[in-house]
Amino acid sequence: MKVSRRDFIKLSAATAFASGLGLGYFQKSRGVQQNAGEIKTVRSVCSPNCTGACGFDALVYNGRIETLTQAADYPEPEYNPRGCLRGQSMMNLIYGPDRLKRPLIRVGKRGEGKFKAVSWDEALDYVADRLADIMKRHGPESVAISIQVPGTGYVHKGAMMRLASMFGWSALHGYTMNGDLPAFWSQTFGVQTEEFESLEWTNSKYIAIFGSNIMVTRLPDAKFVNIAAERGAKVVVVDPNFSPTAAKADEWVQINPSTDSAFALAIAREIIENRLYDEEFIKTYTDMPLLVRMDTQKRLMAKEVKELEEIAGKLNVPEYRDVFVVYDVNEGFKPVNPETLERDFEPAIEGEFEVELVDGKRVKVKPVFQLLKEEVQKYTPEKVAEIITPPNRNKGEYVDMIKRLAFEMATVKPLHIIYGASNYQWYHGDLKGRALALIVALTGNLGKSGAGISTYAGQFKIRWPLGAWWSFKGRKNKWVTYLLWMNKEYRQSEEFKKYNRETPYPKNDVKAFLFGWNNPFDQHNMANRMIEYAENGDLELIVAIDFQMTTSCKWADVVLPGVAWYEKYELTATILHPYVQLQQPAIEPLFECMPEIWIFKELAKRLVQKWNDEELKSSISEFYPDPELFDEEERARKDGTWSFRLARNIAHKASLKAVELMLKTGGELVEGITLEKLLKGPVRLNLPTPNKRQIPFWEQINLKKPFPPQSYPVPLQKTARFVKSGRIEFYKEEDVFIDLGETLPVHKDPFVDTEYRLNPEAKRKYRYFYITRNALYRVHSTHSNNITMLELQDFRPRVWLHPITAKENGIAEGDLVEVYNDRGRVYGYAVLDEGLHPSVIIFEQGWWSRYLRGTSYNSLTFPWIKPTHIVYFVPGIWEPTTAWNEVACAVRKVEV
């Protein structure tokens, strides 16, 4: 083709314009590749907060990641390939224009985004100075940190926890901060969270999904729903809104928002009425045979009963257990040993009995089952149809549907209920969870392959004890509840004073906030509270650790550039699959970015100099698991041989040491899992089940171990007290449950205890439900700025509304609209969706504020605290959790 090119030059040279123009035509495109370099692939793990933890092969060429492909090396072929569009395009963030390059110190006003680039020494010294000062003035617990989901990175997140433990800082628990903690778990089962590994889904014959958008939010696992369906399982999706998951289901049941508990209780009623329950199961594993005193509404304890007092005294049970009483059909009142589920009684589960107490008083008692039976009587299909049927739909059909589904769920086994995060991120989310758990318990669907209830939010469960790395020389991690920080009115409220028994709060409030692995100014800025604290100076110091310039970084005083998961060694162990995996550096960290372990080590090193703690001072080199590594870097600093590369290599080595430390001290679950094995590929945890499958409560159901199984990292006694009977508990007797009428699962309408109580006007002004669901194109705010994801969304944040809603508000497809309430507003382009509930307005959360004309979807939300969540305080297990969806709003068209 050279000929024609030359010809063409001649041709164009003949014209007068050739010299100035035209020549660009021949300019070669800028070359990034010469076919000379060498190709290598490195296996790492994609690990944002979705907790998918998908193995990826990074193809590296000339020191840069060119492509990312699912590693697809999981031993079960079914798991291959794990990964999604976000993981595949991660290079857009690593090499994108928002990538952080150097440490930054703010020069403009907060939030203005004006910074100066400084050296690491300057940034770290500055942070250390400021922190030391705040710690001295307000106490170290006024420094709060947040690390988000642990399982996506035990080493570096652990390093931040390690640092916090050194000085007694507070940690905000991501699980509750995110609203991902499903409170019913602790209330019912005494655990943090349980869930099947996704491969187990295929063993179910009935999958009932209540408000979880599996096809989007569990993308790499979604196929297992399809495979289950292909193998003959029925899939039902209960959701106010038609979702991609509903599209794949055999049946979609549209219900009114947050009425799932009514629905579930109607199903429970049908099951009970028609005696479709698994009697053996409920007698053996649940509290349903236990007796409840009608006078106090508390459970009857053996030590209260005259005839049992003596035996009860002899029973040697731990202090976190109580000995309750059943009415044995042969032997009468009988104590129940809470330390085993081997059943030595044949309880009456219905009826009313009279029992003589130690003090001679005679009181009426009823088995929990009897109470339940009475309670669910209120939930007849007809009545529930009134509650759940969306406007303009046929209630009669709903009555039939309830009966039919109840029959199916009771008879088709194994049944698996998936309870979505968005569904429990409501004020009464715990009630819904308890009601749903009731269905699986009544039908005996627990502890078996394919049978159970699962929640799949961001997965916060810690897989094995990590204390050796996560705390510095045995120092305690302190926790503080995020919602108490956001909701200062509640902290001072009578309700809080009345019910709070344990939930701590720093006496001088949170004064410094250091965060990594999250973007709180977009994601957690409820009712704009965080911005308020930043602007009014309540927050004296804000430090962000990220690898890109997020909204939160813009609000920070100091931004410390960390690295992404292809630039460091890290250990991951999330929940959707039971694989422990290693992240490995495919490339050297870009610019001056540093692995987080190094950042925290450097901060620790600087802080001990300013903090009066001799033990810390003398043992600081132990911050790295191998003090020699610490010293090596210090030596290099002294003799002038320090370099970024050296520090990074040392940090890499220290990371691997931390991995080894955690594996060595992790106990049975990780026995035999070594660094060498992990370097070769993913390794399954030693779960105590056949084939090491992740089947919740397998040991309880099959080995009759009492509830609960341990939730790491807390010792068993801390959580076992939630279910003192050692059984699955549907009856809660703590005062607050009695006061609120929630001793048993009940249904309560949304907004009544929240929006309408806060402002009765809201009922009229804000008629719509504001639901912020998760987007296909982002993991929360991560990938908000991924250009490829933006293309797929037309670069537009969107607001989904039902055509009727749109019409009511004069909105047409594609209009720019504002969703708002008294607290805030957000902008997006209207999408009319026939599948939406007409009272629902959906915004897909996770857009950086820059795409929202400076607004935020979380300016509308509110940090509600439900008092049943402050009965106990075990961080991330029983503590107040966020309810993103408990928001009333209005919508209008705007011209901008």
Ligand X SMILES: Nc1nc2c(c(=O)[nH]1)N[C@H]1C(S)=C(S)[C@@H](COP(=O)(O)OP(=O)(O)OC[C@H]3O[C@@H](n4cnc5c(=O)[nH]c(N)nc54)[C@H](O)[C@@H]3O)O[C@H]1N2
Counts for the chain of helices (H) and strands (E), in that order: 37, 30
In the set 547, 623, 872, 873, which binds ligand X (CB under 6 A)?
Answer: 547
* Beta carbons of 86 and 48 less than 8 angstroms apart: yes
Q: How many residues bind ligand X (CB under 6 A)?
A: 63
* Beta carbons of 821 and 860 less than 8 angstroms apart: yes
- Report the alpha-carbon distance of residue 405 to residue 266 in Å, rounded: 10
Q: Which of residues 588-627 bind other proteins (CB under 8 A)?
A: 590
Nearest of 165, 268, 316 to residue 619 by alpha carbon = 165
Q: Which of residues 775-814 bind ligand X (CB under 6 A)?
A: 775-776, 778-782
> Nearer to ligand SF4 by C-beta: 90 or 439?
90
In the set 44, 57, 60, 87, which binds ligand SF4 (CB under 6 A)?
Answer: 87
- Report the alpha-carbon distance of residue 276 to residue 757 in Å, rounded: 40
- Contact between 545 and ligand X per CB under 6 A: yes
- Report the alpha-carbon distance of residue 745 to residue 749 in Å, rounded: 13
To the nearest whole angstrom, how small is the minimum distance from the Cβ of residue 214 to ligand X?
Answer: 7
- Report the alpha-carbon distance of residue 833 to residue 381 in Å, rounded: 29
Residue whose beta carbon is closest to ligand SF4: 87
> Nearer to ligand SF4 by C-beta: 246 or 654?
246
Tell whether omega for the bond before 81 is within 30 degrees of 0, i.e. cis. Answer: yes
- Contact between 117 and other proteins per CB under 8 A: no
Q: Which of residues 217-246 bind ligand SF4 (CB under 6 A)?
A: 219-220
Q: 123: how many CB neighbours lie within 10 A of its CB?
A: 23
Partner whose binding site includes residue 53, from ligand SF4, ligand X, other proteins, none (CB under 5 to 8 Å by kind): ligand SF4
Nearest of 556, 533, 537, 425 to residue 487 by alpha carbon = 533
Spell out, one character per residue from 760 to 779, where the chain touches ligand SF4: x when CB under 6 A holds, - when not: -------------------x
- Contact between 519 and ligand X per CB under 6 A: yes
- Contact between 669 and ligand SF4 per CB under 6 A: no
| Helix 381-388 × helix 260-273 angle, to 10° | 170
Tell whether omega for the bond before 708 is within 30 degrees of 0, i.e. cis. Answer: yes
Partner whose binding site includes residue 602, from other proteins, Mo ion, ligand X, none (CB under 5 to 8 Å by kind): none
To the nearest whole angstrom, how small is the minimum distance from the Cβ of residue 673 to other proteins?
Answer: 25
Strand segments (E) across 456-591 = 478-480, 512-516, 541-546, 558-561, 570-572, 579-583
* Beta carbons of 293 and 370 less than 8 angstroms apart: no
> Nearer to Mo ion by C-beta: 180 or 322?
180
| Helix 154-167 × helix 596-610 angle, to 10° | 10
In the set 33, 508, 609, 717, which binds other proteins (CB under 8 A)?
Answer: 33
- Contact between 179 and ligand X per CB under 6 A: yes
Q: Which of residues 44-73 bind ligand SF4 (CB under 6 A)?
A: 46-48, 50, 52-54
Q: 475: how many CB neighbours lie within 10 A of its CB?
A: 16
Q: 114: how many CB neighbours lie within 10 A of its CB?
A: 12
To the nearest whole angstrom, how small is the minimum distance from the Cβ of residue 723 to other proteins?
Answer: 37
Would you put residue 429 in left (φ > 0), alpha (ψ -120 to 50) or beta? alpha
Q: Which of residues 170-199 bind Mo ion (CB under 5 A)?
A: 178, 180
- Contact between 27 and other proteins per CB under 8 A: yes
- Contact between 212 and ligand X per CB under 6 A: yes
Phi, psi dihedral angles at 465 (to 5 degrees):
-60, 130
Give me the residue label for tokens 């620790």. Answer: 604
Partner whose binding site includes residue 458, from ligand SF4, Mo ion, other proteins, none (CB under 5 to 8 Å by kind): Mo ion
Q: 637: how many CB neighbours lie within 10 A of its CB?
A: 13
- Contact between 484 and ligand X per CB under 6 A: no
Q: Which of residues 589-608 bind ligand X (CB under 6 A)?
A: 596
Instruction: Look at strands 541-546 and 768-773 and give their pairing.
Output: unpaired
To the nearest whole angstrom, how small is the minimum distance from the Cβ of residue 267 to other proteins?
Answer: 20
Spell out, one character per residue from 239 to 268, where the chain touches ligand X: x when CB under 6 A holds, - when not: xxx-x-------------xx-x--------
- Contact between 795 and other proteins per CB under 8 A: yes
Q: How many residues bind other proteins (CB under 8 A)?
A: 97
> Nearer to ligand SF4 by C-beta: 214 or 541?
214
- Contact between 372 and ligand X per CB under 6 A: no
- Contact between 517 and ligand X per CB under 6 A: yes
Q: Which stretch binds other proteins (CB under 8 A): 60-68, 338-346, 452-460, 692-700?
A: 60-68
- Contact between 531 and ligand SF4 per CB under 6 A: no
Q: Which stretch binds ligand X (CB under 6 A): 208-216, 271-279, 338-346, 393-401?
A: 208-216
Q: How many residues bind Mo ion (CB under 5 A)?
A: 4
* Beta carbons of 583 and 153 less than 8 angstroms apart: yes
In the set 60, 83, 402, 775, which binds ligand SF4 (CB under 6 A)?
Answer: 83
In the set 798, 825, 866, 869, which binds other proteins (CB under 8 A)?
Answer: 798
Buried b (16+ CB within 10 A) or exposed e, 835-863: ebbbbbbbbbbbbbbbbbeebbbbbbbbb
* Beta carbons of 866 and 490 less than 8 angstroms apart: no
Q: Which of residues 458-477 bind Mo ion (CB under 5 A)?
A: 458
Burial class (CB in 10 A: 0-12, 13-18, 19+), 328: middle
- Report the alpha-carbon distance of residue 771 to residue 840 in Å, rounded: 7
- Report the alpha-carbon distance of residue 454 to residue 276 in Å, rounded: 22
Partner whose binding site includes residue 422, from other proteins, ligand X, Mo ion, none (CB under 5 to 8 Å by kind): ligand X
DSSP 579-630: EEEEE--SSPPSTT---HHHHHHHHHHHHHHHS--HHHHHHGGGGSSSHHHH
Sequence-ordered list of residues with C-beta below 8 angstroms from that of 65, at least 6 positions apart, any chain: 58, 59, 91, 94, 95, 566, 586, 587
To the nearest whole angstrom, how small is the minimum distance from the Cβ of residue 54 to ligand SF4?
Answer: 3
In the set 43, 46, 49, 730, which binds ligand X (CB under 6 A)?
Answer: 49
Q: Which stretch binds ligand SF4 (CB under 6 A): 40-48, 249-257, 380-388, 635-643?
A: 40-48
DSSP 170-205: EEE-HHHHTT---HHIIIIISSS-----GGGGGG-S
Q: Which stretch binds ligand X (CB under 6 A): 6-14, 24-32, 267-275, 547-555?
A: 547-555
In the set 477, 694, 861, 868, which binds ligand X (CB under 6 A)?
Answer: 861
> Nearer to other proteins by C-beta: 7 or 279?
7
* Beta carbons of 865 and 483 less than 8 angstroms apart: yes
> Nearer to ligand X by C-beta: 611 or 864?
864
> Nearer to other proteins by C-beta: 64 or 383?
64
Tell whether omega for the bond before 713 is within 30 degrees of 0, i.e. cis. Answer: yes
Nearest of 849, 172, 156 to residue 560 by alpha carbon = 156
To the nearest whole angstrom, how small is the minimum distance from the Cβ of residue 549 to ligand SF4?
Answer: 20
Q: Which stretch binds ligand SF4 (CB under 6 A): 80-88, 363-371, 414-422, 583-591?
A: 80-88
Report helix, strand or coil for 143: strand
- Contact between 457 and Mo ion per CB under 5 A: yes
In the set 44, 57, 71, 86, which binds ligand SF4 (CB under 6 A)?
Answer: 86
Q: Which of residues 190-209 bind other proteins (CB under 8 A)?
A: 202
- Report the alpha-carbon distance of residue 87 to residue 67 in Å, rounded: 11
Q: Which residues here bind ligand X, judged by CB under 6 A?
A: 48-50, 148, 178-180, 210-213, 216-217, 219, 238-241, 243, 257-258, 260, 420-423, 426, 457-458, 516-520, 523-524, 545-548, 550, 562, 564-565, 596, 771-776, 778-782, 845-846, 857-858, 861, 884-885
Q: Which residues here bind ligand SF4, judged by CB under 6 A?
A: 46-48, 50, 52-54, 83-84, 86-87, 219-220, 779
